[in-house]
A and B are shown apart, each in its own frame.
Chain A
Amino acid sequence: MPQIEIKSLNAYYDKLHVLKDVEVKVEKGEIVSLIGPSGSGKSSLLKMLVGLLVPQSGEVKINNEIIDYKKKADLRIVREKIGIVFQQYNLFQNMNVLKNVCIAPIKIQKRDSKKVEEQAIELLEKVGLKDKLKSYPDELSGGQQQRVAIARALCLNPEILLLDEVTSALDPELVQEVLDSIRLLASDGMTMLIVSHEMSFVKEVSSKVIFMDNGSIIEVNKPELIFENPKEKRTSDFVSKILKDK
């Protein structure tokens, strides 16, 4: 039984058809990467999964349960289970690092604040930011902010983690520190959906790679195959272009 199952799903931004008949299956503990040119619908797919973009038609099942994104109760359940980290970190600018990580578990999940704080400090230590608990987002570098964002998503104890181009906004020398944090999670066996342009990283961590173009899924394959022996012409065009640029 797949943990996430998406069937013939269509979604629109106003009139723009951003997801066209999308079919995805993700098994528990799997790390699935989404690659493709910008505007191909990768981020939209992640946003749709947490209900920031409501699908028009199709079906989404999480743990074999159909999710109706128009229902508030279903949205709550999905957002309990799925954590998301954004390209622009989106930390709350009015809260320090520790508060950013703790606020949702305490205020929304109503968990014990002492225990949440302990967990938050542990997570922040894991991403190497234990000395920044009292800092505010604008005092941190992009890489540090992104690692806080990862800790914030994890502190909600999600079953699934979505990472939306988490290194795209970072300076090259900061990319590694964030990727290291993700590697650590990958080894913990968390289900992850990763949108990334870091092809070597994608190749290294993913169990499956999905190539998207223009809102549709073009190819789903093992990372070795996608990069070295793609089935579709569009995939090989994209992959060879990306690898040439590097």
Chain B
Amino acid sequence: MERLIEEIPSFFTIWNIIFLAKAMGVTFLLTAIGCLVGFSMGCLIAVFRKTKTIFLLPLRIFIILYTEIFRRIPFLVSLLLMFYIFQIFKISDSLFVIAVITVCLIATAYIGEIIRSGIESINQTQWDAASAMNFTYFQILKEVIFPQAWKVILPPAFGFFIMFIKDTALASQIGVMELTFAAKVLNNKGFSPLLSFGSVLILYFILSYPLDRFGKHMEKKLASNRN
């Protein structure tokens, strides 16, 4: 314990703080981009997966294959796969870019499924009533289905977002300097594990807590049927 207290001044140097802040920024960006892209693309693929027209059939098959594959491969495996694909085709050297793209692909697959199940939770009779009044497919989704589906979609979606903050730690495996990697580096520099990983733990909490609150707020706002 004494050693720990002695260590504190040398741990919280300006350099270490900047180092951790940068790593936190990387974790934040990975999560934020993943969630935003995942949510918008997830909406899109859920919406197209529910279409019935024959000429969109190839798109539907592609969507189903894509979601089923990416939800079945472990995060780490897709990350490494992407890493080698990028290496082989020399697309980009930036580890961050590789991580971001992988994160988006995975988030899209997962959130797409959450949104699809939300859409399907709404009774077919609501579709019937609306289509009998000449609503188009997209009008039904916008006016009738999504306003009712949010309360089914949001809780698992935010659960996924928060889980995702932690999952981005896997990006350290290909060398992206995010929070977990930063902790390892500090630990390797000789700082005690308690201090290195403890501070990272607090930073993860700082990232996820507001997101959790935001989720609760959105649930209240959108999930009551009164709009």
Contact = CB atoms under 8 A, between A and B. Distances in A.
Contact of A94 (B133, B139, B227): B227
Interface in A44-74: 47, 50-52
Contact of A84 (B132, B143, B226): B132
Contacts, number: 54
Contact of A104 (B125, B134, B226, B227): B134
B101 interface: no
B70 interface: no
Nearest to A50: B132
A104 B131 CA distance: 10
A52 B132 contact: yes
B134 A108 contact: yes
Interface in A78-104: 79-80, 83-84, 86, 88, 90-94, 103-104
B132 A94 contact: no
A76 interface: yes
Q: Is the interface of A mostly helix, strand, loop or mixed?
A: loop
B148 interface: yes
Q: Is the interface of B mostly helix, strand, loop or mixed?
A: helix
A12 interface: no
A136 interface: yes
Contacts of A138: 225
A79 B134 contact: yes
B134 A52 contact: no
B145 to A, nearest CB: 9
Interface of B: 125-126, 128-135, 139, 143-144, 147-148, 225-227
